[in-house]
Amino acid sequence: MKKIGIIGCGWLGSRIAASLSDRYEIYTTATTKEKAEELTSKGFNAYVASFPDYQLEEKIQQWKEIPELDAVIITIPLSGKSCCASSLYNRIQHLLAFVGDFKGQMFVMSSTGVYPDSPGEYNEESLSVESVQGERLISNTYPQVNVLRLAGLMGDNRLLKNYNVSNLQAPVNHIHYADICHVIEKMIEKRSEGKLYNVSAPLHPSKAQVINAQNNLAAPEDMIGEGKIILSSKLISELDFVFEYPDPRAFH
């Protein structure tokens, strides 16, 4: 059985682990001993590790499981919008030390938040990996890395109606976690390397339409306003990918 390492087993990472666990042996990281014990109880091989955004006196040691892994999936935040450049640099340097000289298949979960907050349609050619600090630092060390720019993570307990939302006429860019898992599964099977994909549901209803659907209310008649639209056409074309959840109004 092939072995998959998942660095960062939070909300998304734990769902990816569960999705892959029937076909792969799963190794994960957690930031606390308690979380690692919880993951171990679910049948995963858990290791305590963290990647602070400040310099450490001692270098982080390479993950001892790395030589045994066929693929590594990184879900810790690396897009760079939530922290300053130096903090992100420190975090990634710790991560690089932990992963070491890994030659296998690799995935990094980035974010569609790297695109400008301006109305318009955005595909992968709108912004290169070299233009995004976190993506660039990882790909410079691991040219085989697949960068997945994820839209707003939704599904299960994550529903738009549970959040304070403004600009209700704006279109949404959402992705159901199940489709992220399906993308990774398909790319593992195809042995994809060095790919950059937007991972966003292909339909973009307004926030109001999504919230009404989740509250079992009739769809508002308002037209969808201007906003950012993330295109997943490259993913659909190159992987022949069919979304299980193409419409954010049906995520619940």
Is 63 inside a domain boundary?
A: yes
Is 86 inside a domain boundary?
A: yes
Give me the percent of the chain exceeding a pLDDT of 90.
87
Report whether pLDDT(82) > 60: no
Is 235 inside a domain boundary?
A: no
- Write down the pLDDT at residue 78: 81
Helix and strand element counts for the chain (H, E): 7, 11
Is 249 inside a domain boundary?
A: no
Q: For residue range 206-241, list pLDDT tens digits in order.
A: 999 999 999 999 877 777 889 999 999 999 999 999
Query: Can you read off the two tokens belonging to residue 114?
Result: 């790297």
- Write down the pLDDT at residue 161: 95
Q: For residue range 86-103, list pLDDT tens digits in order.
A: 889 999 999 999 999 999
Confidence of residue 83 (pLDDT cuts 50, 70, 90): low
**CATH classification of the domain holding 33:** 3.40.50.720
Query: Can you read off the two tokens belonging to residue 223?
Result: 């037209």
Name the residue range of residue 181's domain.
Answer: 3-155+174-201
Pairing of strands 45-48, 25-30: parallel
Q: Give φ, ψ of 218 to 5 degrees.
A: -65, 150
pTM reported for the whole predicted model: 0.95
Q: CA–CA separation, 167 vs 208, rounded Å?
A: 9
Is 215 inside a domain boundary?
A: no
Is 206 inside a domain boundary?
A: no
Query: Can you read off the two tokens belonging to residue 53?
Result: 């955004």
Query: Can you read off the two tokens belonging to residue 60?
Result: 């982080």
- Number of domains, the chain: 1
- Write down the pLDDT at residue 79: 66
SS3 151: coil
Is 167 inside a domain boundary?
A: no
- Write down the pLDDT at residue 77: 83
Is 19 inside a domain boundary?
A: yes
